[in-house]
Amino acid sequence: MFPYDFKKENYSELGYIYEGVTTYMGDLFLLKSKVFSLENYLLEMNAQLQKHFDNPGRFNYSVAQSSFDTWLDGYVPGVPGRKVSIYTEGCLLAFVMDVKILEATQFKFGLDEVMRVLYFDYTLKGKGISEADYKKVLTQISSLSWDDFFDQYIHGTNSYETILTEAFDTLGLELIHQPNKLPSASKLGFKYLQNQENCIVKTMYPGGPAELAGLQLEDEIIAVNDFLLKGELEQWLIQFEHEIKKFTVIRMGKLVAIQIPEVQRNFYNDYSVKAVAKPDKNQLVALRAWMK
C-alpha cells in the first residue's frame, strides 16, 4: 500500500500513482515471475491501450484532474467524455516511465526501484508522499528531469501515442492500429452492448456520424431501414453499406427515427502490440532487462 500525506494539497491528484502504478506493476510482476508469458502480458496491455484510445476524455481532462474527480464521483465513468481512468492512464504512463528509467540507468534500475525507495524512505518511516516527493525519487534513480513529462502527460492532455510508440520500440515491440472490424464502430462511430435481439448504445466517437445524427447513449436500436435487428445489427449495416441508414430506437419509452449517413473515413480503431519480426541487439537487451 502506498503512503499518503493527507496534508499535501495534491493528495487527491495522485491516483495515477496509487491506482495506475499498482495496475502496471501487478501485470508486470506476473510477467517477471513467469506466471504470464509475454503474449499473456501483451493481451493485458492491449486492453489498457484500447480503453485509453476509445475514451474521448483524454482530450479534455488530464490523469491528475481525473484523479481529483475520482474523489467527487467515485470509481464510475461519470459525465461522458469528461475524464479518463486513473487505472488505465496511470498504467500506461507507468510503463513509459519504467522504460525511460531503464534506458537512463543502462538497464540497472526501473520503476520498481523507485517504489522500493519510496517504501523504505517514506512508508517505513511513517511518512506520506507528495507529487514532489515522487518526482524527487524518480530523478534520484534516473538522473532525468521529469518536469516536462509531468506537465505534458500527467497534468496535461498531450497524446500518449508518441511516447508509447517510443517505449515499445525500445523493447522491440510495435504498436499497431487498424480500423475496428465492426461497421458500427469503424464507419458510424458508436459502440454498443447486445441486449437479446437489440443493441444498447454505450459510447460514441466525438464528431462521428452517429453523434452528429443525434444518436444518444442508452438508445436501444431495434431496427435498421425498417428491418428488425434480431441480433444482426452488423449484417444489416453491411447490407445497407453506402446508403443512408434509418435507425429506429427506443429512447425513454418512445420510438425515435434517426438517419445516419455513410462517410468515407474510419472512426474507432483496434489497438494492439506485438513483437517486431527482427529485433536488434539493443532491443533484445532492453526486453530482457525489462522482463527480469
Report CA-CA distances (Å) from 162 to 92, 165, 170, 267.
Answer: 12, 5, 12, 19
Average pLDDT value for residue range 100-106: 98
Cα 235 to the center of its chain, rounded Å: 29
0.95 exceeded by pTM: no
Which DSSP category does 155 fall into? S
Which pLDDT value is given to residue 1?
41
Average pLDDT value for residue range 29-57: 95
* pLDDT beyond 90 at 135: yes
For 69-93, the pLDDT digits (tens) are 766 665 556 666 678 899 999 999 9
Domains and CATH numbers, the chain: 11-179+270-291 (1.10.390.10), 183-260 (2.30.42.10)
Task: Please state, rounded to an integer, the average pLDDT across all residues of the chain.
Answer: 91
Give just the sign of the alpha carbon dihedral 64, 67, 73, 79: positive
Q: What is d(CA 17, CA 25) in angstroms, rounded to the nearest whole number?
A: 11
* pLDDT beyond 60 at 95: yes
Length reported for the chain: 292
Q: What is d(CA 269, CA 257) in angstroms, rounded to the nearest whole number?
A: 27
Q: Is 39 exposed, middle or buried (0-12, 13-18, 19+ CB in 10 A)?
A: exposed
Which pLDDT value is given to residue 13?
79
Which pLDDT value is given to residue 75?
57
Element (H, E) at 179: strand 173-179
